[in-house]
Chain A
Amino acid sequence: MSVSQPVSEIEVEITINSRRRRDRVPSRLLLSDYIRDTVGLTGTHLGCEHGYCGACTVMVDGDAVRSCLMLTVQADGAEIRTVEDLAPAGSDALSPMQQAFHDNHALQCGFCTAGFLMTLESVDPADYRHPQQVVELLSGNLCRCTGYQNIVTAVAQAWSDSTQAQ
């Protein structure tokens, strides 16, 4: 006797990194698994799958979202950006924040890095002028390697460069 899964499938239309897709997905499929397994964008990482570590952070309609806490069907019609979308396309260049992470040794194993970058990408630097505000912003992302100091330095450098550029 075969027991069948009580799983329904739903069609979703999602724009991810500027590409529109239509997929039939199980209703219980997490957005994180959709991004990684269905779409194949594996730069978004799963560190806890209970919404704590922030490694799976992506942008959904401009907001930073923990993709392990969202169902794919909830993202129907949404625009999603992932870490793969940060560096300028068609060149070897990095985004200013990616470059600042590289310059300041702000990543070691790199597993949490995408989450930090997406958290940072989702905010307006003008709202985080005080270092303590940056610390609070970043405190939703766990890093086990760096001790955070170089990450804070990298953010300060990237954002001060961007202010000077304006």
Chain B
Amino acid sequence: MIPDIDDHIRHSTRHIGRSVPRREDRGPLTGRGRYVADIKLPGMLEVCIVRSTEAHARITEIDTSQAEALDGVVAVYTGADLADVSTFPDYIAYIGAVRQRPLATDRVRYVGAPYAAVVAVDRYVAEDGAALVAAGTIYEPLPTVADLAQALAPGAPKLFDDWDSNVSVDVAPHKPEVDRAFEEADHTFTDTYWSQRQTGLPMETRGVVAEVTDGTLTVWSSTQSPHMVRTAIALMLGVPEPQVRVIHPVVGGGFGTKTHTYPEDIVVPWIARRLGCAARWIEDRAENLVASAHAREQRHDVEVAYDDDGAIGAIRCTSTLDMGSGEIFMPGTAPVFVTNACITGGYDFPNMQARTVGVVTNKTPAGAYRGFGIPEGAFVMERIIDRVARLTGTDRVALRRRMLLRPGQTPHVMHGGGRLDSGSHTESFERALETTAPALERARTRHADDSDVRVGVGYCNYVEPTSPSYHLTTGQWGGHDSATVRVDPDGSVRVAAGLSAMGQGNETTAAQLAADALGVSPEQVTVVLGDTERAPYGLGSWGSRGAMMLTGSVLMASERLLDKARRIAAHLLEASPGDIVVSDGAFHVAGSPQPSVSWADVGTTAWVRTVDLPDDIEAGLETSAFYHPEHLTHQLDEDGKINAAASWSNGTHIAVVSVRVSTGEVRIEDFIVVHDCGTVINPALVEGQVHGGVVQGIAGAMYEHFQYDSDTAQPRFSSFMDYLVPTCAEAPPIDVDHIESPAPDQPLGVKGCGEGGTVGPPAAVAGAVSDALSEWGVDLTECPVTPVAVRAAIRAAEAAGRGPGATR
């Protein structure tokens, strides 16, 4: 059922659907936004974490005496000192248990693994101490596994002695109907596609500040999930949970990497309790590159059955995730399940069998990054379609048109069980094609006189699961979120939500929702996010859930509050509650010329002049709601399928590129986006999410790649000089158009929009570059599409006798 927004609008100027200016801007613009590194407490000490320089080793000795003797060093702690701290829980039964300790005790499994902490009067001295601890550390190196092939080789060195192999999880369903489809198909092909290792890379690194005052352990953490961090601290340190308060101050970006609860979230509070004074740890960028979650490194072994006319009969895909050491909480396995669930996207074809494998290696643990497995799957699907089109001489666009879901074909259950409740799959593709035609023409004209340049176009149609279940990901949490709405005596509204914010504008969104629901202006609404003491338990911001979860929880709490406010107003107006109408900040009796009462009148009566309340109404005007979306399921059904998302956004990305043949340089001439996230609450914020996501996606398509030495598993990166983040000069013009297909059964029809931007660029760019180099028969199977990669593809083609250069 399509929800009726008007049921929730009680203000003559509707705020939902408008680009209400962001209330979050002023702090950062004027230098007064308070991020975790800006927090300075009396007597605060600085912490530097000492990290492994070996990829796989036993630590046989840590001599801390030199560091302890240093002026200004207060304490040095190693894993042995934290014996009273429990391990991070291994909640998921079907993956290998890693029993991660906050500081490694005897064995390190990746470069960057934390094993000691130096506490000192300032960061400079703490780093001096850390260098002395490092110098006093004796390793007994163990053989390393640097990639999937090494990790899966017979007799490979194992990361965890009690495991049978380095395989953490292997779910391999068998579908006889897929076998039949392969037997009956005209043709088959097999290939391997790759997605490279990247990270979310927020501009603000992680950081933790902790202190104990009056029996409360207060922790400021640059996290996306403060309540989950609180639960982990209470559990692992053995502190009653009400005595732990976790606050996220202004957070300088997260992109998934800050959804995890990291060792430092435990170690720094432990230090604050042990020493009885405030302690601060701020990750530096060199640490960040090895100590915050990596993501995206997957291999896809694909078999495709197809017919002469290009019809795809079935796909078999084994998706294998390089998990790094796997020592991360929550575990990093879920994205590869999402990959397999989302490969099909909005394309309909008869059969698919997907095997999901997670393998540990001696690299930084893999975890969450915006997109969470979706871009990897979309890349595989689009590359398959382009291949089949080429092999059968079918037009690439026509083949996509044949496969895409048409209006009226939703709800549609994908092969993995995801239920596409709605969407504009064909419509978004057609609209993007309309914009593409002139863009392609412009690019061709621009380069018409340059014989060294080829122009190409690439396509990606994707789906974006929004407001997902966290149960398969964490083995513990579910999928709710929360809000408390309060009206104070002066009539001001306060919304406190369990959700967090890392720059999306969630405070502004919450104020828009509450304003319309209660009939006040957004300026009358104060929003509190990211504080476990002030908001009810929530799961935080990730999984493109902010908009929908805020909508559900804020509207639910507002409606409950209105119910009580109406009864109080009815009493004051000597009328029946059913006759009370709320609009523009006032309550009045429907159809009556009587004077009205305001929110301040009602708030004052509820909290202050309670003598005016009737006997059957309690004092106070505050309600909480815990919202759980319709259709969201948390367990696999008997066929192994699950709809682990409350709704599904969709979109189309098309890249128009030029490729300089002699150098391999790729330029994105135009990037076209048509995006559908259902009902839009704030168009400017949605567009901002799309822009940022697309450029992150382009980073994955063309630039970012964590590379490791294959002999030693040592990282071949340590700074922004070797991990290439796009600047303004690499960001192409992005043309964004919107379609609104409201989510049936979700409040206001809102869907999420945080991650879609990252999904399309790798597929679209690889498709466009392959198209541009079609004379050479180039068919890219991995990213990033760097000049080196492009030249290698051209050379390989020419060596095989393909392309105009081959005959020279």
Contact = CB atoms under 8 A, between A and B. Distances in A.
B692 to A, nearest CB: 5
16 contacts: A7-B124, A43-B30, A47-B205, A55-B203, A101-B29, A102-B21, A102-B26, A103-B21, A108-B688, A109-B251, A110-B250, A110-B503, A138-B727, A141-B727, A144-B725, A148-B691
A46 B37 contact: yes
B66 interface: yes
B31 A49 contact: no
B729 interface: yes
A147 B203 contact: no
A109 B506 CA distance: 11
Nearest to A29: B124
Contacts, number: 190
A12 B491 CA distance: 52
Nearest to B32: A43
B284 A82 contact: no
A110 B507 CA distance: 14
A84 B720 contact: no
B679 to A, nearest CB: 19
B35 interface: yes
Most chain A C-beta atoms within 10 Å of own C-beta, residue among B201, B204, B696? B204
Given A109-B503, A146-B692, A94 B29 contact: yes
A47 B203 contact: yes
Interface of A: 1-5, 7, 26, 28-29, 33, 36-37, 40-50, 52-53, 55, 82-84, 86-87, 94, 98, 101-103, 105, 107-114, 117, 135-136, 138-152
Residue from B21, B29, B251, B693 whose CB has the most chain A CB atoms within 10 Å? B29
Contact of B255 (A41, A135, A144, A146): A144
A84 B27 CA distance: 10
Nearest to A42: B38
A6 B66 CA distance: 15
B22 A149 contact: no
B733 A149 contact: yes
A48 B71 CA distance: 27
Nearest to A143: B203
4 smallest beta-carbon distances between A and B, as pairs: A43-B31, A110-B28, A109-B503, A111-B252
Contacts of B696: 144, 147
Interface string B683-706: 011011001111110000000000
Interface of B: 19, 21-22, 24-35, 37-38, 40, 66, 69-72, 122-125, 128, 201-205, 250-253, 255, 284-286, 502-505, 684-685, 687-688, 691-696, 719-721, 725, 727-729, 731, 733-734, 757
Given A111-B253, A139-B727, A45 B204 contact: yes
B71 A50 contact: no
A144 B202 CA distance: 6
Contact of A110 (B19, B25, B205, B694): B25
Contact of A28 (B31, B124, B688, B692): B124
A47 B204 contact: yes
B69 A82 contact: no
A110 B70 contact: no
A135 B726 CA distance: 12
Contacts of B34: 42
B252 A45 contact: yes
Contacts of B692: 108, 144-147
A48 B731 contact: no
Nearest to A86: B30
Contacts of B25: 101-102, 107, 110
Contacts of A87: 29-30
A107 B28 contact: yes
A142 B695 CA distance: 12
Contact of B721 (A52, A139, A144, A149): A52
A36 B303 CA distance: 56
Contact of A147 (B123, B505, B725, B731): B731
A135 B685 contact: no
B40 to A, nearest CB: 7
Contacts of A135: 728-729
Contacts of A83: 29-31
Contact of A48 (B685, B719, B729): B719
A60 B434 CA distance: 50
Contacts of A52: 719-721
A149 B731 contact: yes
A150 B688 contact: yes
A129 to B, nearest CB: 17
A149 B757 CA distance: 14
Given A50-B719, A152-B728, A142 B71 contact: no
A33 to B, nearest CB: 8
A5 B71 CA distance: 6
Nearest to A136: B729
Contacts of A43: 30-33
B203 A2 contact: no
B181 to A, nearest CB: 41
B29 A117 contact: yes
A42 B70 CA distance: 29
Nearest to B28: A110
A105 B22 contact: yes
A66 to B, nearest CB: 12
